[in-house]
Amino acid sequence: MLFLSTRVLPRGGGVGRTVSIWDDHNQVRFLPDLMATIQGRDILLVTHGFSVDQLGGEANLAGWASGLTLGNAVVLGILWPGDSRWIPKIDYVTEGNEAMASGDLLADFINRNFAGALSLSFASHSLGARMILQTISGLSRDVRTLLLMAGAIDNTCLSSEYSRAAGKIKNISILSSREDEVLKWAFPVGNFVGGLLSRGTPYVHEALGREGPGIPYSSNLLAGWQIQDIWQFGHGDYLPGAQLVPIPPVTDLLGPVPAVKAAWSAAFMSGRF
């Protein structure tokens, strides 16, 4: 598996000036390697959220990708510096800026190098939603599918701040859980302070990954996003720390409690792809 990175350091640090390419052995790769991998293929680009360093991101994304069933499609991981540039954990309120800068950088890279890809799809976890939506905003082509898992972003984002990005996507899926304690407590405080410090207007809406989308719904948003409370889906349950055993693709939120939650989220992506 290959990874596209906007990082300048493997831990902490900010956004670089160029996108670097890594493999799942944490070795640097080069543009011809990437071009050969994506040529004529459907591509799924997936990213992590806040407080994840480079090695952690590689492990989380490679593990999740091992549970996907996407036929001949290629999965690429996206690594970005969401792991506290200044003070660990505390600077969450400014990490949205790192996500947006990473999205701008990645969009430019994709526009210049992905012409040979058959289609583009995206998936994200947590604050990675902002990075992905910022990326899609800057793309010069449309997107096939988007999955936003536990989105740490306002639930109005698809109809307001990122409505332009949403309009480029054929199908949008969301996974949200009211049992997500991180989004219940940390998100409202972090977004309120973050709005005061960096964007002028505090964000006071619910998190997309807890309550689902705000009205009006985007016309390309697929139904079914609220995970059953009985499943106890927490913020860290969507991505694994190790390789998964794939399960058959699923398309809805019904059924028994999944034995391996991250395998279930991967199967959900497979079903919606």
Q: Supply the CATH number for residue 20's domain.
A: 3.40.50
Domain boundaries, position 58: 2-272
Q: Domains in the chain: how many in total?
A: 1
Beta bridge mates, 214:
none
pLDDT of residue 196: 36
pLDDT of residue 71: 95
Binning pLDDT at 50, 70 and 90, where does residue 234 land? Answer: very high
Q: Which of 231, 160, 155 is nearest to 188 (CA)?
A: 155
Q: Which two tokens stand for residue 199?
A: 């964007």
Look at 272 and 255; give whichever has higher pLDDT: 272
Q: Which of 88, 17, 22, 98 is nearest to 57 (CA)?
A: 22
Q: Which two tokens stand for residue 156?
A: 């109005």
State whether the Cα torsion 104-88-195-182 is positive or negative. positive
pLDDT of residue 84: 62
- Asked whether 138 and 104 are in contact (CB, 8 A), the reply is yes
Look at 216 and 270; give whichever has higher pLDDT: 270
pLDDT of residue 190: 46
Three-class SS of residue 160? coil
Binning pLDDT at 50, 70 and 90, where does residue 35 land? Answer: very high
pLDDT of residue 241: 83
Binning pLDDT at 50, 70 and 90, where does residue 85 land? Answer: low
Report pTM. Answer: 0.91
pLDDT of residue 243: 83
Q: Which of 107, 112, 121, 122 is nearest to 35 (CA)?
A: 112
| pLDDT digit string, tens, across residues 169-202 | 999 999 999 999 988 876 654 444 444 333 434 4
